[in-house]
Amino acid sequence: MSSERATRAARLLTCARDESTTLPAEAVSFSLEGLAEAYEVQALVAAKLGAVAAWKTGAPSPEAEPIIAPIFKDLVHGSPARLEAMRFRRLGIEAEIAYRLCRDLPAPAEPYTRADVIAAIGAILPAIEIVDSRLAACEDLDPLVSIFLRLLE
């Protein structure tokens, strides 16, 4: 069952995406109750946005717990790709490394070993992430709100 905060956050984000609008910071000036609630927002938005083509993961430091997020099919573009800059609000780019798996890694009873994961890698590819935000101003946000917004862009 979804919390009221998670449902509200998901509704705000999906409406902004559907309408190609930017949210003022005060629209998301609430706090989330931990990473689980941030992932709850992510799941609610993902259920509305459709097909997932890939997943991304990252952490701000080696000691931090990595966060994961879906990359939706409509946001993946093969090379060469040309995208109109005007469709973005706060345009930025990041160099990334993409791993193409040669087999699925379904949820296991025990965590996968490093060797299991390496054996499932079919290719390692360069990738470019277009960084954008649905927020007019990202500063001074609750860190978890910031996470779910980054996870879902």
Which residues contact residue 140 at a Cβ distance below 8 angstroms, ignoring those fewer than 6 apart? 25
What is d(CA 72, CA 147) in angstroms, rounded to the nearest whole number? 17
Beta-carbon contacts of residue 94 (< 8 Å; ≥ 6 apart): 128, 129, 131
Q: What angle do CA 117, 119, 120 make, to 5 degrees?
A: 65
Note the pLDDT of residue 94: 87
pLDDT reading at 151 higher than 80: no
pLDDT tens figures, 21-79:
777 766 766 677 778 888 888 888 889 888 888 888 887 788 988 888 888 888 899 88
Widest pairwise Cα distance in the chain: 46
Nearest to 11 by CA among 33, 53, 40: 40
Predicted TM-score of the model (pTM)? 0.74
> CB burial class (10 A; 0-12, 13-18, 19+) of residue 7?
middle
* pLDDT tens by residue, 35-47: 888 888 888 888 9
Q: In terms of pLDDT, which residue wins out, 50 or 135?
A: 50
**Integer Cα distance of 26 and 8 in angstroms:** 13
More confident residue, 32 or 128: 128
Query: Bridge partners of 95?
Result: 128
Q: How far apart are CA 24 and CA 114, in angstroms?
A: 42
